[in-house]
């Protein structure tokens, strides 16, 4: 049974084709810089050379079409036709109060989901494009929605309630929902494995740092608090999103400039974050390069992002009381040692001590790495996320009538002996070029 997963982010589309029977990834890849210009697809198929192709993707629909063409490519593809796909899992960002768990996608489901677009203006439209493009090509295949917000349904009322008129929550769904749920679910379960602990007796702080970024406090294995709120705009400084600001800024700017609510919303979602601070760059790789060159605004953007992450780490450690591990994940979290260094500097008194040399070397998407110093009271891991695997397992479970919430369902990657075959092969290649990575690899229960 081959399962396709599509993960449409604000500026990227990740995908994977998984052979459920062989428990093996047939192909995976990502289309980067969607809507930003300079789009490129990076495609890896089992037993074949990596395929990289520059192809402008001004919309997510174009990116989906490019992915489907690549999967059927005579040289680099892995399927003869889309009929080989028996189920499709879609990352859906905002379920509001309507959807609290993964579900089979129907026309009724989509109509309800469309009504929630205003809650996630950067992501829900992209998710819908992915669903509609895939359903058009594969109308007879079950399509499954995996909700980013589902993981956070365990938050207590004191975490998800805003101090605003209560009728806003009752009538307008104003509350904290949280996002990046599939990523947090995967990394929380994997961190428990690395610690050798019962996942439901494990406390974690997980920083998912990508173009979109959020941080999650995990108490006894479930989400306790998270930085994103009603929408993915709140919390950390992001690629193009502001994160936390004084709400009064919105009214001040509207009065001073005459801008409409929609105009300000666009500015905060698409023209703020590190892009707004630097004035030029949304991609952290560009920020880092130019910060090293001495560009002052790039330096401020990078240091501001690191500082905001640090503040949330401290706040969530206070909220949890005891923390077993700090985890970095997603694109920047996995490949950005400078941001990790900025986010953890000076936290020794809280029990977090990062080994500077290990951190500088920790740039690998094929292995779980430990960057904490030997005498650090809190373990610090870099865990490559695998949202696609969570989506694949949820899709399989939904289609086969076995799905349940994560507190009642055991995923394959919770086993100590779990191996991602594709990443294991990738690690061999990484080690051939960077043998020092072997010393950084975290072992289960070590």
Q: Contact at 8 Å (CB) between 214 and 225?
A: no
Contacts of 339 (CB under 8 A, 6+ apart): 209, 284, 302, 305, 306, 309, 332, 333
Q: For residues 248 and 122, what is the distance between their CA atoms, to the nearest angstrom?
A: 23
Which among 107, 140, 148, 220 is annotated as catalytic? 148
Q: For residues 237 and 303, what is the distance between their CA atoms, to the nearest angstrom?
A: 10
Instruction: Examine the residue annotation and report whether 355 is marked as an active-site residue of this protein.
Output: no
Provide the b/e sequence for 157-195 (b: ≥16 CB within 10 Å): eebbeeeeeeeebeeeebbbbbbbbbbbbbbbbbbbbbb
Supply 381's token pair. 């891991």
Measured in whole angstroms, the distance separating CA 67 from the mean position of its chain's CA atoms is 20
Q: How many CB atoms lie within 10 A of CB 361?
A: 17
Q: For residues 260 and 195, what is the distance between their CA atoms, to the nearest angstrom?
A: 50
Q: Facing residues of 27 across strands?
A: 17, 45
Q: For residues 211 and 389, what is the distance between their CA atoms, to the nearest angstrom?
A: 21
Q: For residues 408 and 130, what is the distance between their CA atoms, to the nearest angstrom?
A: 29
Tokens 């052979």 -> residue: 19
Contacts of 308 (CB under 8 A, 6+ apart): 236, 237, 243, 244
Helix (H) or strand (E) holding 209: strand 204-209
Q: For residues 89 and 238, what is the distance between their CA atoms, to the nearest angstrom?
A: 26
Supply 147's token pair. 């909700």
Q: In what order do the strands lie in the sheet with 85-92?
A: 51-54, 40-45, 24-32, 12-19, 2-8, 85-92, 143-147, 103-104
* CA torsion angle 98 104 107 110 (round to 10): 40
**What are the catalytic residues?**
148
């Amino acid at each position: 049974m081959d399962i396709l997963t599509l993960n449409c982010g604000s500026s990227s589309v990740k995908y994977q084709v998984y052979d459920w029977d062989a428990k093996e990834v047939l192909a995976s890849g990502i289309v980067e810089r969607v809507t930003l210009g300079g789009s490129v697809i990076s495609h890896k198929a089992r037993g074949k050379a990596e395929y990289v192709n520059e192809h402008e993707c001004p919309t997510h629909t174009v990116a989906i079409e490019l992915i489907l063409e690549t999967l059927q490519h005579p040289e680099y593809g892995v399927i003869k036709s889309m009929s080989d796909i028996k189920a499709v899992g879609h990352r859906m960002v905002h379920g509001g109060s309507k959807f609290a768990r993964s579900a089979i996608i129907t026309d009724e489901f989509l109509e309800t989901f469309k009504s929630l677009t205003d809650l996630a203006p950067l992501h829900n439209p992209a998710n819908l494009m992915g669903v509609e493009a895939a359903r058009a090509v594969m109308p007879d295949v079950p399509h499954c929605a995996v909700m980013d917000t589902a993981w956070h349904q365990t938050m207590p009322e004191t975490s998800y309630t805003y101090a605003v008129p209560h009728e806003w929550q009752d009538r307008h769904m104003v509350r904290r929902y949280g996002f990046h749920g599939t990523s947090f679910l995967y990394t929380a379960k994997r961190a428990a494995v690395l610690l050798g602990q019962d996942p439901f007796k494990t406390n974690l702080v997980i920083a998912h740092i990508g173009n979109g970024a959020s941080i999650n406090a995990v108490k006894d294995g479930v989400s306790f608090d998270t930085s994103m709120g009603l929408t993915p705009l709140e919390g950390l400084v992001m690629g193009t999103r502001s994160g936390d600001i004084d709400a009064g800024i919105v009214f001040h700017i509207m009065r001073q400039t005459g801008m409409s609510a929609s105009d300000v919303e666009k500015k905060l979602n698409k023209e703020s974050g590190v892009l707004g601070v630097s004035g030029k760059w949304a991609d952290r790789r560009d920020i880092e390069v130019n910060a090293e060159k001495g560009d002052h605004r790039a330096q401020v953007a990078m240091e501001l992002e690191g500082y905001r992450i640090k503040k949330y780490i401290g706040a969530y450690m206070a909220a949890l009381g005891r923390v077993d591990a700090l985890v970095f994940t997603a694109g920047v979290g996995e490949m950005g040692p400078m941001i990790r260094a900025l986010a953890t500097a000076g936290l020794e008194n809280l029990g977090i001590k990062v080994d500077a040399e290990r951190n500088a070397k920790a740039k690998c998407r094929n292995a779980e790495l430990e960057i904490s110093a030997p005498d650090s009271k809190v373990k610090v891991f870099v865990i490559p996320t695998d949202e696609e695997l969570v989506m694949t397992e949820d899709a399989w479970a939904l289609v086969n009538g076995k799905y349940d919430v994560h507190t009642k369902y055991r995923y394959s990657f919770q086993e100590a002996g779990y191996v991602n075959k594709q990443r294991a092969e990738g690690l061999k290649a990484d080690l051939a070029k960077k043998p020092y990575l072997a010393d950084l690899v975290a072992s289960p229960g070590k």
